[in-house]
Amino acid sequence: MNTPDILVIGGGIAGLSAAAALSAQARVTVLEAEEQIGYHSSGRSATMVHYALGDRLVRALTLASRPFFDNPPGEFSDVPLGHRMPVLVHAREDEREALDRLDAEISLFARLDRLDAAGVHELCPLLKPDALYGIADFNGTRLDPHALLQGNLGQLRHAGGELRTNARVSRIERQGGAWVVTTEQGDAFAAPLLVNAAGSWADRVAALAGVRPLGLEPKRRTIITFDAPAGTDLDSLPFAKTIGDELYFAPESGRLFASPMDEVPSDPCDAQPDEYEVALAAYRMEERTTVQVRQIHSKWAGLRTFTPDKHPAAGFAPDAEGFFWLAGQGGFGLQTSPAMAAITASLILGQSWPISDVAAEALSPARFTAQHA
Ligand SMILES: Cc1cc2nc3c(=O)[nH]c(=O)nc-3n(C[C@H](O)[C@H](O)[C@H](O)COP(=O)(O)OP(=O)(O)OC[C@H]3O[C@@H](n4cnc5c(N)ncnc54)[C@H](O)[C@@H]3O)c2cc1C
């Protein structure tokens, strides 16, 4: 039997970044159900670091994560974790007040440029003329999720940690002060500490261990890619988002990608795009921009998993010794992963608290489990 100090269930960005941070002081094994890391949500995202989603707590976690993306630890390869891509949030006349409110909220965290209609169209010439107002963060970052996942894996392995793929956990028991975990293949692992970073499946993993669920809600989001109009300078385009949650688009590998920002409730699964949301993405792209979506080149969907208050959960389960929740990263799990990993290491290893703007209680799973008792 494999007996590390800490077992992590889930080889997405949450599990791998936490495992990398923990491995500096503990022997860590990550168990991932799929053949590849990042196969589910972490490999299907829009890969942006920006402040136009979530609330103050999510923005604080994002801000605290930024230095990591710009200066990753030495064990990461030399591949940059991302590149600068401006973030533009645009509004029509009737959406101006909402833009003002977002401006005030984001300005606490990032330097924003306020744009008039000319500025909006200079930054994003594809928008229709009714995009009259904008706020731009020229310091936005587009992440390379492969480099981020592999970098964390490299750090874990450098410290002597281990990743097991094709290792779907199907049984979890507490025996003599240890969590004994068995995979579908029959391999057994035991450790005093278990980190539940199973993404959309985190409540199901908790149920295997007899731990009360948080009430997580996976929601599907869809992305399509298609050709930009001939002559479009893709390199200079921003990540452009409507002030309401209707549409975002950005350059993607020589084309454009767009999402209708759908949030369709789903069971945990290998999410697939639905034709309605695919058509909606194309429709909204044509509604808000001058682009004609003649042919959809590719499409995919992924799950964004939320806790009931839409803040992530990081902390020990109040009802089970040695069971640590790391779940509910919603639509911001990549951009907050360094901060969440540092918080996990702090709580498990007893290190000093890493982020003064965020209280441990705000992330504690205890805020939900009482409701499900
Ligand atoms: C369309 C879309 C756009 C997004 N855009 C952004 C963005 O721009 N910026 C951003 O920061 N975030 C974005 N996100 C959100 C981000 O992708 C997620 O928050 C993040 O990937 C969640 O990471 P995770 O590790 O918790 O989940 P996952 O990546 O899903 O990892 C969980 C892993 O647990 C494994 N697992 C489950 N059950 C078991 C078991 N029983 N045994 C073993 N392993 C198990 C699964 O196989 C899976 O690999 C987006 C998401 C989507 C879908």
**DSSP symbols for 246-263:** T-EEEEETTEEEEE----
> Is 42's C-beta closer than 6 angstroms to any atom of ligand 1?
yes
> Is 334's C-beta closer than 6 angstroms to any atom of ligand 1?
yes
> Is 197's C-beta closer than 6 angstroms to any atom of ligand 1?
yes
pLDDT for 373 equals 47
115 and 123 Cβ atoms separated by less than 8 Å: yes
Distances (CA, A) of 34 to 9, 39, 163, 167: 11, 7, 11, 7
pLDDT for 371 equals 54
Q: What's the pLDDT tens digit per position in 286-339?
A: 999 999 999 999 999 999 999 999 999 999 999 999 999 999 999 999 999 999
214 and 228 Cβ atoms separated by less than 8 Å: no
135, two tokens: 């706020």
Question: Checking DSSP bridges between strand 87-91 and strand 133-137, what pairing results, if any?
Answer: antiparallel
Q: What's the pLDDT tens digit per position in 173-209?
A: 999 999 999 999 999 999 999 999 999 999 999 999 9
Predicted TM-score (pTM) above 0.95: yes
154, two tokens: 């490299």
Give 237 Cα–ligand 1 centroid separation in angstroms: 27
Alpha-carbon span 26 to 329, nearest angstrom: 24
Give 242 Cα–ligand 1 centroid separation in angstroms: 24
73 and 155 Cβ atoms separated by less than 8 Å: yes
| SS3 state at 174 | strand
Angle between helices 96-106 and 56-70 (to 10 degrees): 60
Q: What's the pLDDT tens digit per position in 140-154?
A: 999 999 999 999 999
DSSP state for residue 2 in the 8-state scheme? B
> Is 163's C-beta closer than 6 angstroms to any atom of ligand 1?
no
The closest residue, in CA terms, to atom 53 on ligand 1 is 302
Distances (CA, A) of 356 to 44, 61, 78, 224: 31, 10, 30, 39
Alpha-carbon span 354 to 337, nearest angstrom: 13
pLDDT band of 369, cuts 50, 70, 90: confident
The closest residue, in CA terms, to atom 51 on ligand 1 is 45
Question: Checking DSSP bridges between strand 6-9 and strand 87-91, what pairing results, if any?
Answer: unpaired
> Is 32's C-beta closer than 6 angstroms to any atom of ligand 1?
yes
Alpha-carbon span 354 to 77, nearest angstrom: 24
291 and 229 Cβ atoms separated by less than 8 Å: yes
Q: Is the pLDDT of residue 171 over 60?
A: yes
